[in-house]
Structure 1
């Protein structure tokens, strides 16, 4: 079940990229729409990060004018911003500004259905808040801006301790869930069945493949991050019983806060005997390579190195024989 209060909220998306980096606006637009926003405008700038606004001062003023002209209610950056940049931008444009991490968290809130997923999302949100608590209060005391309302009444250390206690409380709850998950994993190991994890970039088709292999009916959606919790089922492969798990999708530059918060879910991949890395080959080659690189990097970050990986090329029916051959040859070189 999806939840969220962004339905129809008019938003402008902004992405600052390095001079030789390819545009990421399309993915950012998909993320914003998955969070319920109506994207009414976009700005992209190729430059080094500016300390005050992340984008350049001139582009920031252009953004402020666009907010007024398009009657935007939210500005969404595809980059991770420093709190002082969020504050400066909110002060300039007059509406709340969120960054990539906050946007992904909003999507997760909408998609979460299990107790564990909800706790992990709240942990990630609070850890982000904890890291910025003192500075947010300090900035709010200078003058409250959209996204900073109500914080000026706190003392920085008091607010920090309040958030820290909330973080500890959730961590304790997650420890208990992890113990239960570990017991289930140990029981499966005792049965001696090989375990397979389906991994891959979000919206690559993992859950569709999982349903096909298991005759299950886990939710499938064309939007990103449909799967936020793992599902394990038994399958028969050439007469041998195996266990296969559908896992959380990866995304480029997945914030470390989310990797840490979702560790108990992601660690299912660590204990696999085999990883099937699903790749959507219907996309342009540059996009395939970027997403494949992001997926492999995340697998490395969660500690799943040393596990055999087999690439699974998905959506080949959307390609001509020649396109499939050319992409396959290119991917073989990785």
Structure 2
């Protein structure tokens, strides 16, 4: 990964009673190699000219010069005129949190789909500001506005709009491909369990712990931007486990929309494991839980069962983790304290997932002892749970647990081979 580097000053303006998110902005900046050389905070209403007050803008300009900062990054959304005025005041480029998140995403993007989704989000952001940025650049170019003065506003806007349209077409092809793969997976009858939650909560570590498949784990924010899928066993209930992009407070709708094809894997899953870092302060755990749940609701998770995995219990001890579970039980669906890293309490998590997966059946089959039947048994073992297997002289008896849909398909295949279903019971 190519790290950006450089010295930056972070700025946050918030209202009375609002919680500071400057620590998250700092983590984002450090993730891609920025050195945080200074911070400025102000509690007041937004100023139309600078976002912060005029006096604070002067203080910011002095701090930038003192620490040799190359950029200023705001926690707040900035209008083009505010970014322009701040760049003029400080003499350096001024970004907002959305632009920083795009930089982080760009550094971690490894697939064509992720890169296209990031480019779409960036262009949509630019599209909403294009004409105003060109107008401002014509008044005199500032850092972050260089080169725009040579364009006519309508020409620049139209060029971005055409590029947005082209990327949308390419991403629609990806969505169609994903849809086909999802339909093929559903045709097998295996349920899908999605990992979701706040960034850096340990989703990738949990993915590896549950599936046995290695996943990139770095401890930085937004390591996972592309979907990963693997088979996992939840107390005898075989499922496809899916790991997707994490959330962060203030993640703009533009970015969520751009990652629609990736997030659809979560939307169409049979169950969601919401991963939360329970080692943080109770107020942080509740904030991140609330934000993640509201984001899941926003993307279409309404009636899907959710299990809350309170991860990193090893950092605070199991007793304290249990107390955290009690204190968040009013907002956290089915809370289970775990440590993905040290495999603590994963069996409880697996059982809780199994108990909440719907439409499961236990069935008994009799199959003739043929090579085709033995091949079918191998396939059954891969995609479901064989509770017992008894060989007789000319037949084999199986007791299988799987989804209702899978059992219907299996019954047809068994009968084609000259076998039969002996019994089926909903569980």
Report the TM-score range of the alignment, normalised by the length of the smaller protein. Answer: over 0.9
Q: Which has the higher contact order (CA 8 A, sep 6+)?
A: 1
The count of residues paired between Structure 1 and Structure 2 equals 331
Q: Take 2:243 and 2:254, find their aligned partners in 1: how far apart are those partners?
A: 22
1:225 to 222, 226, 233: 222
User: Quick one: which of 105, 110, 124 aligns to 1:108?
Assistant: 105
Q: Corresponding residue for 2:329?
A: 332
Task: Give the equivalent residue in structure 1 for 2:267.
Answer: 270
Matched, 1:3 2:2: yes
Quote the residue 1:62 is aligned against: 59
Aligned CA-pair RMSD? 1.0
Return the match for 1:194 from 191, 194, 205: 191
Q: Which of 38, 41, 55 is matched with 1:41 structurally?
A: 38
Matched, 1:145 2:147: no
Q: State the Cα deviation string for residues 293-321 of structure 1 (Å, max 9, x = none).
A: 11011101111221111111101111134
Contact 1:3 1:109 in 2 (8 A): no
Equivalent-residue separation in structure 2 for 1:200 and 1:333 (angstroms): 18
Superposed counterparts of 1:234-313, under 5 Å: 234-313=231-310
Moved more, 312-321 or 259-268: 312-321
Deviations 1:193-212 (A, max 9, x none): 11100001000000000001
Q: Secondary structure at the match of 2:89?
A: helix
Q: Counterparts in 2 of 1:67-146, with a 5 A limit?
A: 67-146=64-143
Partner of 2:175: helix, strand, or coil?
helix
Is the 1:198–1:277 Cα contact (8 Å) retained in structure 2?
yes
Asked whether the 8 Å contact 1:94–1:146 carries over to 2, the reply is yes
Give me the whole-angstrom Cα distance separating, in 2, the residues matched to 1:272 and 1:180: 17
The gaps in structure 2 that reach 5 residues or longer are: 332-427
CA distance in 2, matches of 1:11, 1:107: 15
Q: Distance in 2 between matches of 1:292 and 1:44?
A: 25
Query: How is 1:160-239 mapped onto 2 (pairs within 5 angstroms)?
Result: 160-239=157-236
Question: What's the CA shift for 1:35?
Answer: 2.3
Indicate if the aligned counterparts of 1:3 and 1:111 stay in contact, CA closer than 8 A: no
Tell me, in whole angstroms, the C-alpha distance in 2 between the residues paired with 1:325 and 1:193. 32
Displacement after TM superposition at 1:322 (Å): 4.4
Q: Is 2:24 aligned against 1:32?
A: no
Check the 8 A contact 1:13/1:42 in 2, yes or no. yes
TM-score computed with the length of structure 2 as normaliser:
0.76
Whole-Å separation in 2 of the counterparts to 1:69 and 1:300: 45
Counterpart-to-counterpart distance in 1, 2:104 and 2:291: 19
Distance 1:58 1:303 in 2: 44
Unmatched runs of 5 consecutive residues or more in structure 1? none
Q: Offset of 1:45 from its aligned partner?
A: 1.1
Gap change, CA 1:110 and 1:53, over 3 Å in 2: same
Residue-by-residue CA offset, 1:2-50 (whole Å, 9 max, x unaligned)? 235x22x110011112211122121111001112211100011111111
SS of aligned partner of 1:160: helix
The structural deviation recorded for 1:325 is: 3.2
* Cα deviations by residue, 1:98-125 (Å, 9 ceiling, x for unpaired): 0010000000000000110000001111
SS in 1 for 2:222: coil
| More strand by percentage | 2
Task: Work out which of the residue numbers 10, 15, 19 in structure 1 matches 2:16.
Answer: 19
Distance in 2 (CA, whole Å) between partners of 1:299 and 1:122 is 23
| Partners of 1:130 and 1:64 in 2: CA distance | 29
